[in-house]
Structure 1
Amino acid sequence: MEYIRVTDIADPLFAGLHRLMSEIFPREEVLAFDLWKEPLEDPGIRVFVAVHEGEVVGATEYRYYTDDDIAMTDFTIIGRPGLGIGPFLASRREADLKRLASEAGGKLKGMFAEIYDPYQAGEHEFGGVKPMDPFVRREVLAHLGYRRLNFDYVHPSWQGDGEAVGGLDLCFLPYEEASSLPGSFIAKFLRTYYSVLEPKPDLWTKMVESLERQDRIELLPL
């Protein structure tokens, strides 16, 4: 299996990736094909596909924030069972992020991720691919060390319609011992991460403003 970066919507691998995203994720979670042009060309956004026998069978997108030595996993897609795609993507992503941090003179402190809470929204089918089942994914990510931040979380819809999307937790994988994160630190990350997405839902804005007023947000088990 190959781990290949995609930086151009004209790359045939991107067509395979977007098709896989559209088959796996709910509609409100998928950015339109043409709108991927700028994100793919952004050097700070890293989109990699897992290619098996010439076919895109998995993918991950993530970014590293040099100022705070943290990362964000935007998504991880496992398109087929039985190929070890999940461990392959996770290990390659971690190695790449640690290399980026080292080259920037820092050390990776942790990684954010939005993780579906199937106990809130159990109807997601995720393309019928069992490894993408939200119950399975949640347990796998818990084993990797991700923990849930203790607040009610929503994010702006990637359809750009100003709607708030719920049914997820904002989680964090600490690489250093931590039982909580500063509220202002989380708010800064969210404002940066969603800076390009407008309009923002009022519910999201109020959530971020509430985080800014809180000293610490507890990290809880998934």
Structure 2
Amino acid sequence: MEYYRITNIQDPYFTQLHELMQKVFPSDEVLEFDLWKEPLEDPDIRVFVAVDGNKVVGATEYRYYKEFNVAMTDFTIIGQDGQGIGPFLANRRLDDLNALAAANDKELFGMFAEIYDPYQVDHYEFGMIKSMNPYVRREVLSHLGYKRLEFPYVHPSWSNDGEAVTGLDLCFLPMNESTNELQTDLIVTFLKQYYSILSNKPKSWHAMVDSLETKQEVKLLPI
């Protein structure tokens, strides 16, 4: 497999990726084709696909924040079961992030991810691909070392309609296994920057942030 970066919507592999996203994710979570132009051209947003025989079989999008020395995984897609696509993407992504951190004269501190909690919402389908089943994904991410941040999480809808999206946990993968909590100022600063593009955030999101700002740190718990 090849780990290939997509940087514009004219790339033939992006057409395949967009079709894969539509197959795997709920329709209201897939950005329209033309609206991907700016994100793909943004140097800070890294969209890579796993290509096997000229076919896109998986993908991951993530970002590295130099000022915080942390990453955020936006999504990971496994398009076929039993092909080793998940480990391939996870390992190559980590190699890339470690290189970005080294160029920043740092060792990567860790990586955020929003992880579906099927115990809250159990109707996710995800294209009938077993590897993308929320129960399976949650267990795999737990094995990778992700931990759940101990607070009720809500995120603003990417439709920018002021709606709140629930049924997820904000999780973190610490590079140092002894890390059992995060400073709240890191979490709040990260969330404010990550969602700065959305002008219409729900009241519950602001309330969540306000609540976090009253604390010094947040525990990392098993997922």
Q: Do the aligned partners of 1:9 and 1:34 also contact (CA within 8 Å) in 2? A: yes
Question: How far does residue 160 in structure 1 lie from its aligned partner after superposition?
Answer: 2.2
1:55 aligns with 2:55: yes
Query: Identity across aligned pairs (percent)?
Result: 62
Q: TM-score, normalised by structure 2?
A: 0.97
Q: How does 1:128-143 map to 2 (within 5 A)?
A: 128-143=128-143
- 2:6 is matched with which residue? 6
CA distance in 2, matches of 1:104, 1:18: 32
Look up the equivalent residue of 1:220 and give its one-letter code.
L
Look up the equivalent residue of 1:116 and give its one-letter code.
Y
1:70 aligns with 2:44: no
Look up the equivalent residue of 1:17 and give its one-letter code.
L
- 1:96 is matched with which residue? 96
Helix, strand or coil for the counterpart of 1:213?
coil
Q: How does 1:58-207 map to 2 (within 5 A)?
A: 58-176=58-176, 177-207=178-208
Q: TM-score, normalised by structure 1?
A: 0.97
Q: Do the aligned partners of 2:64 and 2:70 also contact (CA within 8 Å) in 1? A: yes
CA distance in 2, matches of 1:84, 1:114: 22
Moved more, 86-95 or 212-221: 212-221
CA distance in 2, matches of 1:156, 1:90: 26
- 1:213 is matched with which residue? 214
Question: How far does residue 28 in structure 1 lie from its aligned partner after superposition?
Answer: 2.9
Question: After the TM superposition, which segments of 4 or more aligned residues of structure 1 sit over 6 Å from their partners?
Answer: none
CA RMSD of aligned residues (A): 0.9
Q: Do the aligned partners of 1:30 and 1:158 also contact (CA within 8 Å) in 2? A: no
Look up the equivalent residue of 1:178 and give its one-letter code.
T
Moved more, 28-37 or 64-73: 28-37
Question: How far does residue 216 in structure 1 lie from its aligned partner after superposition?
Answer: 1.0
Look up the equivalent residue of 1:16 and give its one-letter code.
Q
Question: How far does residue 27 in structure 1 lie from its aligned partner after superposition?
Answer: 2.5
Helix, strand or coil for the counterpart of 2:213?
helix
CA distance in 1, matches of 2:62, 2:109: 15
Where does structure 2 lack aligned partners over 5 or more consecutive residues? none
CA distance in 2, matches of 1:182, 1:130: 36
Helix, strand or coil for the counterpart of 2:4?
strand
CA distance in 2, matches of 1:162, 1:80: 35
Question: How far does residue 183 in structure 1 lie from its aligned partner after superposition?
Answer: 1.6
Q: Do the aligned partners of 1:184 and 1:213 also contact (CA within 8 Å) in 2? A: no
Where does structure 1 lack aligned partners over 5 or more consecutive residues? none
Q: Do the aligned partners of 1:70 and 1:108 also contact (CA within 8 Å) in 2? A: yes
Equivalent pairs counted in the alignment come to: 222
Question: How far does residue 152 in structure 1 lie from its aligned partner after superposition?
Answer: 0.6
Provide, for residues 98-132 of structure 1, a one-character-per-residue CA deviation record: whole Å limited to 9, x for no partner. 00110111110000000000000111010100000
- 2:18 is matched with which residue? 18
Question: How far does residue 14 in structure 1 lie from its aligned partner after superposition?
Answer: 0.9
Look up the equivalent residue of 2:208 and give its one-letter code.
M
